[in-house]
Amino acid sequence: MTKALRFILGDQLSADISCLRGIAPDDVVLMCEVCEEATYVRHHKKKIAFLFSAMRHFAEELGDAGHTLDYVRFEACVGSFTDALSEAARRHEADRIVVTEASEWRVLEMQRGWAETLGIDVEIRPDDRFIATKQEFADWAKDRKELRMEFFYREMRRKTGYLMDANGGPEGGQWNYDKDNRDPLPEDAKVPKRPDFSVDGITEDVIDLVAKRFADHPGELEPFNYPVTRRQATYYLNWFIGEALPSFGDFQDAMQQGEPLLFHSHLSALINCGLLDPAECCEKAETAWREGSVPLNAAEGFIRQIIGWREYVRGVYWLKMPDYRDANALSAGRDLPDFFWTGDTQMNCLRQSISETLENAYAHHIQRLMLIGNFALLAGFEPKQVQDWYLEIYHDAYDWVEMPNVVGMILYADGGVVASKPYAASGAYINRMSDYCGSCRYSVTKKNGAKACPFNYLYWNFLIENRDRFRDNHRMRMIYKTLDRMGDEKTIAVKEDSARFFKALSRGEI
Ligand code: FAD
Ligand code: DLZ
Ligand code: SF4
């Protein structure tokens, strides 16, 4: 009689995960909370609490469904996945291990080594919870000069049939309604109140554990108000489709002080850990559009984020790893300032979005991209430090999704694989899309001097410092023409202001 250990990782909390298929009555399902996963970066306290609680609830549901569970809790002090597996294989006298391939390079490498280290058969099954396989992405990328998300997205629309008309074209005649996703928030906008998710005994235990064992990790642990079960996650998805999706399209790029969620779905952590299936999220959005309860720009915008961006960044990750993590095309080397862990800065937009991040382990896309990311780009922070920060601070962060967004999208550290030009912007953009500037110590209309918004001169300083690299980029020709027309006096002022700013930054005075 053979006995298999079916080993489920923390981001594989899906009832139909491939490693469970064909499970025999004698097989044991293993799940474990281990030291290495919880500490390889200093994950935000809420991220650990969310994942441990979701894992414990998921294990309970598998037990209720009749599976034999071996759940190793953090209190057992097991070091790594490999240690947990080795001990469990001995404990259960298993002669086979079945796993679903890990979402991250780091852990897949471990999985590939287990047969040899543990001296036991290991079957690694594909993770089929994505729309595209790794091979499909590689085939699409092959022989292409540029890997633009938009063209991959169209392939995914054709593959899934989402928002496609009877003639095989995109509904509404356009593939992409990005231009209709950029309205600033009107003053009288009504942001819907989020549902409350009660904290049960399992979550309370986990909160106590995290408070005791991860006190030195960043972020606030309470209040904790996020789904941790499949049932709660489905409720939240339905709530989003009914209450927030209708306005998601128009205000996707807007930022508002004191409103960290606006009309965003807040579903990424639930999708990434497996409690929600990306396809079901898209199908519900499409149905809502077909039934007339959400506009096309909203349904398309949401579906594009999931079958477009999410699938695309995963494809880039697997195509470019392992070299991708060390990419630093712009030779950026400045250290991240302390305020990334405290929010204590006089730049109001950063203070708001970093403080919200520390509170919620969440910031929405434009805060991550056009505020914090834009600042990291203009300031020239070292890519590895920026990667680690994003990985530890957001509740949805795993390196397959964080890394291409950081290395490719915000820092241009991959030399243009993901972005056709750097996502650099001055204070005018932030002022247009938010209400942050009105209560800032700096003046967004001032271009130079001690009171000027730092984004204004850092933007030009970035263009000056990277002139050789970007001046022939066809999307940047106009801006370099403007720079060329800038007189010496103005250029010198930009450089002096930037030098003064960086000095103050290194002294912790910003
Ligand atoms: P919504 O705005 O409601 O979007 C819907 C869904 O689309 C998200 O839930 C997510 O699954 C998907 N999505 C949207 N944009 C992206 C994208 N660029 N890449 C991948 N998926 C996307 N997302 C993560 O899931 N994990 C990360 O670690 C992560 N790190 C990021 C780092 C940077 C520098 C940037 C710019 C973006 C990052 N993102 C990451 C993408 C995006 O910001 C988050 O997915 C989004 O903010 C999550 O909030 P939401 O669920 O409310 O998303
Ligand atoms: C993020 C995370 C944390 C903090 N802890 C665990 C854990 O103790 N056990 C576990 O199975 N997974 C954890 N995770 C998620 C894993 O890091 C993630 O599933 C893998 O890295 C995927 O490659
Ligand atoms: Fe941010 Fe500049 Fe506006 Fe202040 S003035 S909130 S630093 S963009």
Q: How far is CA 106 from CA 101, 387, 400, 401, in A?
A: 11, 15, 10, 13
- For residue 485, give every residue at least 6 positions away whose Cβ sits within 8 Å of its Cβ, in sequence order, or none: none
Number of separate domains in the chain: 3
On whether both 172 and 32 belong to a single domain, the answer is no
On whether both 310 and 354 belong to a single domain, the answer is no
Q: Is residue 218 part of a domain?
A: no
For 36-162, list the strands marked E by DSSP.
68-72, 96-100, 121-125
Q: Is residue 327 part of a domain?
A: no
In ligand 2, the atom with minimum distance to the C-alpha of 11 is: 19
On whether both 248 and 357 belong to a single domain, the answer is no
Count of beta carbons in the 10 Å neighbourhood of residue 484: 9
On whether both 69 and 164 belong to a single domain, the answer is no
Q: Which residue has the tokens 């006298």?
A: 93
- In the structure encoding, which two tokens stand for residue 281, read together? 């999220």
Closest residue CA from atom 36 of ligand 1: 369
Digits of tens for pLDDT over the chain (510 positions)?
Answer: 689 999 999 999 999 999 999 999 999 999 999 999 999 999 999 999 999 999 999 999 999 999 999 999 999 889 999 999 999 999 999 999 999 999 999 999 999 999 999 999 999 999 999 999 999 999 999 989 899 999 999 999 999 999 999 999 999 999 998 877 677 788 888 999 999 998 999 999 999 999 999 999 999 999 999 999 999 999 999 999 999 999 998 898 999 999 999 999 999 999 999 999 999 999 999 999 999 999 999 999 999 999 999 999 999 999 999 999 999 999 999 999 999 999 999 999 999 999 999 999 999 999 999 999 999 999 999 999 999 999 999 999 999 999 999 999 999 999 999 999 999 999 999 999 999 999 999 999 999 999 999 999 999 999 999 999 999 999 999 999 999 999 899 999 999 999 999 999 999 888
For 132-187, list the strands marked E by DSSP.
none
Q: Is residue 84 part of a domain?
A: yes
Q: Is residue 461 part of a domain?
A: yes
On whether both 107 and 139 belong to a single domain, the answer is no
Distance of alpha carbon 22 from alpha carbon 13, whole angstroms: 17
- For residue 498, give every residue at least 6 positions away whose Cβ sits within 8 Å of its Cβ, in sequence order, or none: 457, 458, 461
Sheet holding 4-7, edge to edge: 68-72, 28-32, 4-7, 96-100, 121-125
Residue 218 and residue 45 in contact, taking contact as beta carbons nearer than 8 Å = yes
Q: Coil, strand, or helix at residue 426?
A: coil
Separation of CA 471 and ligand 2 centre (Å): 43
- Give the CATH number of the domain where residue 185 resides: 1.25.40.80
Distance of alpha carbon 236 from alpha carbon 252, whole angstroms: 19
- In the structure encoding, which two tokens stand for residue 507, read together? 């002294």
Pairing of strands 4-7, 28-32: parallel
- Give the CATH number of the domain where residue 360 resides: 1.10.579.10
On whether both 194 and 120 belong to a single domain, the answer is no
416: left (phi over 0), alpha (psi -120 to 50) or beta: left
Closest residue CA from atom 14 of ligand 2: 10
Spell 88-122 as b/e; 16+ CB within 10 A means b: bbeebebeebbbbbbbbbbbbebbeebeeebebeb
Residue 53 and residue 200 in contact, taking contact as beta carbons nearer than 8 Å = no
Ligand with minimal distance to 253 CA? 1
Q: Is residue 359 part of a domain?
A: yes
For Cα atoms 302, 303, 309, give the angle at the middle one, nearest 5 degrees.
90
On whether both 403 and 475 belong to a single domain, the answer is yes
Q: Of the residues 312, 405, 409, 412, which should be mutated to test ligand 1's pocket, given the most ligand atoms within 8 Å of the CB?
A: 405
Last residue of a domain, one of 81, 103, 125: 125
Q: Of the residues 401, 402, 406, which should be mutated to test ligand 1's pocket, given the most ligand atoms within 8 Å of the CB?
A: 401
On whether both 446 and 312 belong to a single domain, the answer is no
Last residue of a domain, one of 93, 125, 157: 125
For 368-509, list the strands marked E by DSSP.
none
Amino acid 402 reads E
Pocket flag, ligand 2, residue 102 (CB < 6 Å)? yes
On whether both 252 and 375 belong to a single domain, the answer is no
Separation of CA 156 and ligand 2 centre (Å): 28
Q: Is residue 215 part of a domain?
A: no
Last residue of a domain, one of 85, 101, 125: 125
Q: Is residue 333 part of a domain?
A: no
Q: Is residue 210 part of a domain?
A: no
- Give the CATH number of the domain where residue 35 resides: 3.40.50.620
On whether both 118 and 173 belong to a single domain, the answer is no
Domain containing 249 equals 134-198+227-320
Pocket flag, ligand 1, residue 271 (CB < 6 Å)? yes
On whether both 99 and 176 belong to a single domain, the answer is no
Distance of alpha carbon 392 from alpha carbon 45, whole angstroms: 9
Count of beta carbons in the 10 Å neighbourhood of residue 213: 17
On whether both 109 and 160 belong to a single domain, the answer is no
